[in-house]
Structure 1
Amino acid sequence: MPIDRKSLLTATAVVVALGAGFGLAKLTDRAPPAQVEAEQGEESAESAGDEVKLTPQQASAAGVAVITVSRGGGGDVRLTGRVEASPSARAAVAAPVSGAVVRLLATPGTDVGAGAGLVVIRSADGASVRAESVAAAADAEAAQAALAREERLFKAGVTARQDWEAARAATARASAQAVAARAKVAASGAPSASGETVVRSPIAGVVTTLQAAPGGFVTQGGPIAEVANTSQVEVVITAPAEVAARLRVGAPLMVIGPDGNEANAVIIGIAPLAQGATGAAIVRARPSGGRLMPGAAVSASIATDTQGYPTVPAEAVQTVGGRPMVFIADEDGFKARPVTPGRTGGGYTQIIEGLKGGERIAGRGAFVLKAELSKGEAGDED
């Protein structure tokens, strides 16, 4: 059958059109390069945002400390200090009488209540004081009986008035002596008849030092122990002149404990150093959270410029997938967030992009979260 030239040309045109349409459709379905890069970036960000699920208790046990990113930390000043018990929350306990130490009722680190016994002393002086008190009480009782008898005789007209008045004066003296004897017993630690005295803590707290041992001898007024209430502490910082000049009572600061955890604090006192005229000052601050033990060394972050970049501990920035990351704390754990670090110095790093300040992130121990995230990624590959 002869082929119609016109029909052949028509069929060829249709095939070409269909091929062009298919190619156009393929070109239309393919995203522009910029869009592909953006989508890949989003996928990378989502991958970097993988979460490490840890409860606060698990994080603490793993050595991860959560901190708050300083707002405008570019001008923060970081100083070192120490933790002390508040003046009203510590007590130096002395021996009320001289004597030998019989036994210990507490050891350093023991939690004690107000009035709890610390050591027991056996004292001859204590026994003498107790005997004097008993004798004074007996004299007062006898004088009272004598007064009652003289009063009956005086009313009956048997004795003279001056005899009754003399008995009344003797009763007053005996009562005063009995009161003084009881006060002496109390000041001596309330010794028993055998002279044993229990030395007690005047406040509730923790025994920080104990300077007595069974068999040892202590003198009246000699040191026995020190007790501090660890729930009432202060942070003491020495500030150089240029920093002290910009501080004021009531200003906030952040205290970082030896375990990496932080606590908010407020400056309650600024006193110039007595030595020289350097302008340096002792700064006392009262923390409102955290558990800081007296004697612990801490660092303090004092904001002097609120316009700088946020800063974080250098160890808070970890490299994950070739990118700098910090781990943001949330209800379920920690999520990696990309950041752009700036200058690093003094153990801290400025964050140019990625943080605004005020976020809660992993500080000390952030490398643990990086390791956990890496293990999770390795498991996904398997």
Structure 2
Amino acid sequence: MQSQKHWLMTGAAVFAALGVGFGAAQLMNRPAPEAAHAEEAHSDGEGEAAVVALSPAEAAEAGVTLVALQRGGGSELKLPGRVDFAPGAEAAVDAPLGGAVTRVHVGLGDSVSAGSPLVTVRSPDGAASRAEADAASASADAARAAVDRDRRLFDQGWVSQARLDITAAEARRAEAQLRAARARVGAFGTPGSDGLTVVRSPIAGVVTRISAAPGQVLHEEALQVAAVADPGRVELVFEAPPSAAALIRIGDRLESTLAGSSAVSGVVTAIAPANEAGVVIVRARPDGTVPPAGSVLSARITAGAGTGAFVVPLDAVQTIEGVPSVFVAEASGFRARPVVTGRTSDGRIEIVSGLDGSERIAGAGAFLLKAELAKGEAEHGH
């Protein structure tokens, strides 16, 4: 009995020791809560493409431009051009009649509204037209009074119907002469009795040219006093060789470069036949930021859809973690997408794979997105 009790107590002790050892081992092998959380966060972040949370407006303000993909190939043309006002966007303003300029109300670059005064002219012809209108008004008043008088006399039996009809006809003629005189005064800018006429802007915009000065005498052969243009209505105008007429189509996209390497995208809207100098004028509607009129451009036009690889500006491709990548514009920002590149020529590089052609990517200034991405990753690492 004594021996059996000894063996039972020894077995219980061994079992307890094994249980404690197993629990300790489990506790030592279990990861700490912080380590488990970090490991889970690391595993959740694996496989996600890098995104720079920046809106298109913020990107443009930082100097990042958006470009569309184009096909390279034999139908690609390089054309010189300029930014010009669209048809109807600029008005050359003439004085309606000759005379001496007494005042210039605006300066070059001033913003004006439709009807704003530009210059004031004193014109003898204007004074004469106002005098004629005043005389015609007096004649019309006298004719209306004569009609009223003869109608009363006719009612009283003192004048005949024929006399009343003649008086009424004279009144209608006087009214017609008054309307003609007033129309002439209106065409002359409604001069006052002293011949002063205010020349006003026909459109809202910016004064782009002043052709008159105080004391200058305007003659019928040279009446222009100013030019006003709407700065928001511009187009891209390019000069192409005659052979380009068979290659370029309305709707073709183009990428052009302003002085200072600013990129401007556009769509071809009109193609004129070759002029006497053998030059085809190509007009395009700019996309996005509108450059000022008068800017000089150098454009690359991709005629038709093309069959070659996609080509993008060389600046658009950035090396991220050793891999060539472009930043694709999305609703949430700019996503870095790895691509396979091909040949490089004239500041542009082929994209062999990685894009389907529908994307708009960061062009000039893409390196800023790369720097922002590296900054975000450094902060996340800390």
TM-score category (smaller protein): 0.7 to 0.9
Code of the aligned partner of 2:147: L
Q: Please name the residue that 1:12 is paired with.
A: none
- Is the deviation greater in 365-374 or in 59-68? 365-374
- Identical positions, percent: 42
Query: 1:102 and 2:103 equivalent?
Result: yes
The letter of the residue matching 1:131 is A
CA–CA distance in 1 between the matches of 2:255 and 2:100? 45
Q: Separation in 2 of the partners of 1:171 and 1:224?
A: 41
**Aligned 1:230-269 pairs, distance under 5 A:** 230-248=231-249, 250-256=250-256, 258=258, 260=262, 262-269=264-271
Range moving further from structure 2, 221-230 or 282-291: 282-291
For the 8 Å contact 1:51–1:373, the answer to whether it is kept is yes
Match of 1:6 in 2: none
Q: How does 1:64-213 map to 2 (within 5 A)?
A: 64-70=64-70, 72-75=71-74, 76-97=76-97, 98-105=99-106, 107-113=108-114, 115-153=115-153, 156=156, 158-159=158-159, 164=164, 167-213=167-213
Residue 185 of structure 1: how far off its partner (Å): 0.9
- For the pair 1:51 / 2:42, whether they are aligned, the reply is no
Q: Which residue of 1 aligns with 2:342?
A: 342
Deviations along 1:236-272, whole A, 9 cap, x unmatched? 2222233221234x43323546374544424334322
- Cα shift at 1:226: 1.8
Q: 1:343 to 1:145 in 2, by over 3 A?
A: same
Q: Using a 3 Å threshold, how does the CA distance of structure 1 residues 127 and 94 change in structure 2: closer, same or farther?
A: same
Contact kept? 2:252, 2:304, Cα under 8 Å? no
Segments of structure 2 that go 5 or more residues without pairing to the other structure are 1-45
Pairing of 1:30-49 with structure 2 (within 5 A): 49=49
Q: What does residue range 262-277 of structure 1 map to in structure 2 within 5 Å?
A: 262-276=264-278
Contact 1:102 1:119 in 2 (8 A): yes
- For residues 113 and 252 of structure 2, what CA distance do their matches in structure 1 show? 32
Residue 329 of structure 1 corresponds to 329
The letter of the residue matching 1:92 is: A
Using a 3 Å threshold, how does the CA distance of structure 1 residues 65 and 211 change in structure 2: closer, same or farther?
same
Does the CA contact (< 8 Å) of 1:268 and 1:285 recur in 2? yes
RMSD: 3.3
For the 8 Å contact 1:343–1:349, the answer to whether it is kept is yes
1:15 counterpart residue number: none
Measure the CA separation in 2 of the matches of 1:60 and 1:284.
25
CA displacement, residues 85-104 of structure 1 (integer Å, 9 cap, x when unaligned): 33233321101232324241
- State the one-letter code of the partner of 2:281: I
Q: Find the aligned partners of 2:344 and 2:169 in 1 and give their Cα distance.
A: 85
The answer to whether the Cα contact below 8 Å between 1:121 and 1:196 also exists between their aligned partners in 2 is yes
Contact 1:312 1:349 survives alignment (8 Å): yes
1:303 is displaced (CA, Å) by: 3.2
Does the 8 Å CA contact 1:73/1:303 hold for their aligned counterparts?
no
TM-fit CA distance, 1:288: 6.6
CA shift in 2, pair 1:103/1:208, >3 Å = closer
Paired residues of 2:93 and 2:225 also in contact (CA < 8 A):
yes
CA shift in 2, pair 1:269/1:109, >3 Å: farther
Please give the alpha-carbon distance, in whole angstroms, between the structure 2 residues aligned to 1:288 and 1:59: 16
Could you say if the C-alpha distance between residues 111 and 100 of structure 1 is closer, same or farther in structure 2, counting changes exceeding 3 Å?
closer
CA distance in 2, matches of 1:190, 1:293: 35
**Contact 1:313-1:363 at 8 Å conserved across structures:** yes
1:300-343 C-alpha deviation (Å, 9 max, x unpaired):
53333522110111221233444433222223332333333322
Q: Which moved more, 1:76-85 or 1:130-139?
A: 76-85
Aligned-residue offset at 1:274: 1.9
Q: Give the corresponding residue for 2:290.
A: 291
Alignment deviations for residues 95-136 of structure 1 (CA, whole Å, 9 cap, x no partner): 1232324241565251523x3333333444433332331222
- 2: distance between equivalents of 1:320 and 1:101? 67
The two structures have a TM-score, normalised by structure 1, of 0.73
For residues 330 and 79 of structure 2, the distance between their equivalents in structure 1, rounded to whole angstroms, comes to 29
Please state how far the C-alpha of 1:142 moved relative to its aligned partner. 0.9
The C-alpha deviation readout for 1:257-305, integer Å capped at 9, x for no partner, is: 63745444243343222225xxx42223345765354333343533335
User: Which structure 1 residue ranges, 5 or more long, are not aligned?
Assistant: 1-44
- SS of the aligned residue for 2:191 comes to coil
Q: In 2, are the aligned partners of 1:80 and 1:300 still within 8 Å (CA)?
A: no
